[in-house]
Amino acid sequence: MTRRSEIDLRRLAESIERDIREIREALRRPLEAEYAQGQLTGPQRSVMQAVFRSAGLSLKELAAGVGLNHSTVSSIVDRLEERGMIQRSTDPEDRRVTRISVTTEVRDFMRERAPALVSNPLAQALARAPEADRLAIQRGLHALRRVLEIEST
């Protein structure tokens, strides 16, 4: 491969990466707007994400998982609990341990409403696109997955 073709490929890769990033940001915008209504700080959001992805974490596990010190995470948990976003419960296997989990309301939102907030913008855009464009988008994404050696689901 010539130096010129290497430069062209690098530029193409940068352009594709930028397009993918901008598309992802556009698709996540409605979800991000919904999250913004919750007025969570960055660390609070990190805690919420870690707790949501788990079946319940101890404070020690949570602090390690988000990379913050124990006292900081404890304060964050206190504030989120006051807001009704997370709850504490005693670990049934070790009553000395308290497990932190999201409330039913948060879990229901993430299970029922959040996926639509992400998929609706794409579905609406695809509905506006001509059939030929929809097929080209699908073929292009399948080709990109193939060259990146990502298995299709």
Query: Would you tell me which CATH number, out of the four given (1.10.10.10, 3.40.50.720, 3.40.640.10, 3.40.50.880), belongs to the domain 40-102?
Result: 1.10.10.10
Tens of pLDDT along 59-90?
A: 999 999 999 999 999 999 999 999 999 999 99
Q: What are the domain boundaries of the chain? A: 1-37+103-153, 40-102
Query: What are the average pLDDT values for consecutive 10-residue runs of the chain, which has 153 residues?
Result: 88 95 90 78 88 91 94 95 94 90 90 83 94 97 93 68
- 3-state per-residue secondary structure call for the chain: CCHHHHHHHHHHHHHHHHHHHHHHHHHHHHHHHHHHHCCCCHHHHHHHHHHHCCCCECHHHHHHHHCCCHHHHHHHHHHHHHCCCEEEEECCCCCCCEEEEECHHHHHHHHHHHHHHHHHHHHHHHHHCCHHHHHHHHHHHHHHHHHCCCCCC
Tell me, yes or no, if the pTM score tops 0.95. no
